[in-house]
Structure 1
Amino acid sequence: MRSALLAVLALVVAGAIVLTLLTLPVRVPASGLPSHAPDIANGKYIFTPAGCAECHAVPVKACDDLNTKDKETLAGGRCLKTSYGTFNVPNISPDKATGIGSWTTLDFVNAMKQGVAPDGSHLYPAFPYTSYQRLTFEDLIDLKAYLDSLPAVKHRVAPHALRFPYNLRQALGLWKRLYVDGKSVTPDPKASAELNRGAYLVLAAGHCSECHSSRDLLGGIVKAKEFAGALNPEGKGDVPNITPSDDGIGDWTVEDIAYLLETGNTPGFDTIGENMVPVQENMAKLTPEDRTAIAVFLKSLPPRPDAAQKPAQTGGREVEQ
């Protein structure tokens, strides 16, 4: 009996050690950063399609009394209510006490590429590092330089309020082994420069798949249904299919898509609304060449049937989701 108990104890200890090792954070080493002089202007350009202000500076649904319409005041405070619980969006202004002013460039790169905070804790993927990991090191260095140039705001945001077991932050180490590899978008040598640029803007900076894709039981994107639409994670309606299928944008031309990104107007003489408005406003600030590149990439996606299980409606499909 004693031998059996010791064997069980040994297995438990071994299992705990293995689990601990598997959940340890993976970091980019200092030697992994390229020698690159920060370009603040490019950092500002990347900031726009990345949509940082839409979560970190928008006063809509603020969880406290902070209220600003300045997209360069990134003090956080918005709350995202999901089925996992409430995520309170952090302060990413360069304030050293409550923001990310004390973060080094390497700290920032590890947050964006590996979902790891400077103290080694895992960050929740409500912050879409599963897409931001695809950004190049150079663009991340530039983005950090731009963020450091913005106003520092002293504003402490409340911690997340998540349900069990989602509040077990260390378990994210296992989750990230499935969905995070820290690799940048690799240009396709057989594709045009325009198509590769569109892929980079959609897959990395624009993180379009984060909203327009269905997720599995673990919260990861279902690759076979990527960009084919999804239920709105905040509970209202659905997010449209943006693949070139009959259920999506199959009858849209490249020019139609680029025009929508510039103006917010659809080919059917409708306008987008709600959650897509700030996204479109950001895309309107891109160069015409980049908007066209995005359109070219979207038209190159495999056509997929609509993956969202839409609630019953009395009329047609709502384009504003």
Structure 2
Amino acid sequence: MRRVLAGVAVLALSGTAAIAALVVWPIGRPPAEIELTGDVQRGAYLARASGCIACHTNFEDGGAPLAGGAPLETPFGVFYPPNITTDPEHGIGDWSLSDFAMTVRQGVSPDGEPLFPAFTYPFYADFSDQDVADMWAAFQTVAPVTNPAPPHDVGFPFNQRWGLKLWRALFMHDPQTEPVEGKSVDWNRGRQLVRGAAHCGACHTGRNLAGGRMPDAVFAGNDDLPGGNKAPSILSDDLADRGWTVANLSYALQSGVTPSGDVFGGSMGEVVQNGTRFLSKSDLKAMAIYLLDSDVPEGRALAGTPSIGKTID
């Protein structure tokens, strides 16, 4: 009995030591200083494309732009996007450009804490220094809002941020936005937007029980989105089978109107209303070109992943 108790004690101490080591394990890399001049207009455009306004504005309650607060209901709890206005207390007014760069590209806060993956930072990892400088310049023009966003309502153990370090090690993937040799300029631009800023895979890819995107289900659809929404497959063959073309898909991303005359609803309607409708016609065409000829192999969806719908909600 003593040996059993001693073994349990050793295991407990080992587990405690492992957790303690994980808690103090530093993450993120201090970025090199960015000394580029940002372009406000380009930064505002990139912020729209990246969903910053859509996620950090509580439209239903008439919230101020980028003041946060719109609830995101998930199986792990309710997340509230933070205030990212220039208010120094409740927003990001006391941040530096380096703080902003590390947050956007690495998902690490200025104080070194990992951010919850409800924030789609994995898709922004390939943003260039110029991209970051442009976005930072645009955010500096946002009026400060003195109201804090509500705290996340996430229960134990998901509220333990040290656990996110393990999550990052297991489920963070390169966004794969780099140009592909032999492909057209439009195709590569579409790939950069779809896999990067527009983060289409955040909704249109199935997730495992830990909330990580499944590499073998990229673009294959997801029937379990926050708020009860669904996202169908956007694999190239599935899009073509449903009658999508470069012309009608780029138009739908701009207008929200589908080829049948219906309109996007749910979360896709919000994506168009607050994001893609602000993109240029050339960028929307590029996204459509890529989606209808993507480099995601057909049939990669794992057996048992969310079913593929025939309409876009």
- TM superposition score normalised by structure 1: 0.84
Asked whether the equivalents of residues 175 and 196 of structure 2 are also in contact (C-alpha less than 8 Å), the reply is: no
**1:164 aligned partner:** 156
Distance in 2, matches of 1:182 and 1:28, equals 16
Question: Which one of the candidate residues 228, 236, 239 is aligned to 2:228?
Answer: 236
Question: Which one of the candidate residues 85, 91, 112 is aligned to 1:93?
Answer: 85
1:177-228 deviation line (CA, Å, top 9, x unaligned): 1233677732212322211111111111101110111001221111211111
Distance in 1, matches of 2:171 and 2:300, equals 24
Letter in 1 for 2:36: H
Letter in 2 for 1:29: P
Q: Number of aligned pairs? A: 304
**2:306 aligned partner:** 308
- Which range is displaced more, 165-174 or 255-264? 255-264
Question: For residues 6-21 of structure 1, what are the structure 2 equivalents within 5 Å?
Answer: 9=10, 12=13, 16=17, 20-21=21-22
Distance in 2, matches of 1:299 and 1:317, equals 16
1:250-297 deviation line (CA, Å, top 9, x unaligned): 332111211111222222222212322232232222111111110111
Letter in 2 for 1:284: R
When residues 7 and 75 of structure 1 are mapped into structure 2, their CA distance, relative to the original with a 3 A threshold, is closer
When residues 78 and 135 of structure 1 are mapped into structure 2, their CA distance, relative to the original with a 3 A threshold, is same
Asked whether the equivalents of residues 57 and 76 of structure 1 are also in contact (C-alpha less than 8 Å), the reply is: yes
**1:285 aligned partner:** 278
Asked whether the equivalents of residues 136 and 184 of structure 1 are also in contact (C-alpha less than 8 Å), the reply is: no
- Which range is displaced more, 19-28 or 102-111? 19-28
Question: Which one of the candidate residues 213, 216, 220 is aligned to 1:221?
Answer: 213
Letter in 1 for 2:29: V
Question: For residues 67-216 of structure 1, what are the structure 2 equivalents within 5 Å?
Answer: 67-68=62-63, 73-180=65-172, 185-216=177-208
When residues 81 and 296 of structure 1 are mapped into structure 2, their CA distance, relative to the original with a 3 A threshold, is same
Which 5+ residue runs of structure 2 have no aligned equivalent?
none
Distance in 1, matches of 2:181 and 2:9, equals 53
Distance in 2, matches of 1:204 and 1:195, equals 14
Distance in 2, matches of 1:23 and 1:229, equals 37
Aligned to 1:173, the other structure's residue is in SS state helix
**2:38 aligned partner:** 38
Asked whether the equivalents of residues 214 and 308 of structure 1 are also in contact (C-alpha less than 8 Å), the reply is: yes
Q: 1:29 aligned to 2:22?
A: no
- TM superposition score normalised by structure 2: 0.86
1:16-38 deviation line (CA, Å, top 9, x unaligned): 2586258734223242x454221
When residues 137 and 185 of structure 1 are mapped into structure 2, their CA distance, relative to the original with a 3 A threshold, is farther
Which 5+ residue runs of structure 1 have no aligned equivalent?
311-315
RMSD of the TM alignment (CA)? 2.9
Distance in 1, matches of 2:134 and 2:176, equals 15
Question: Which one of the candidate residues 242, 267, 290 is aligned to 1:297?
Answer: 290
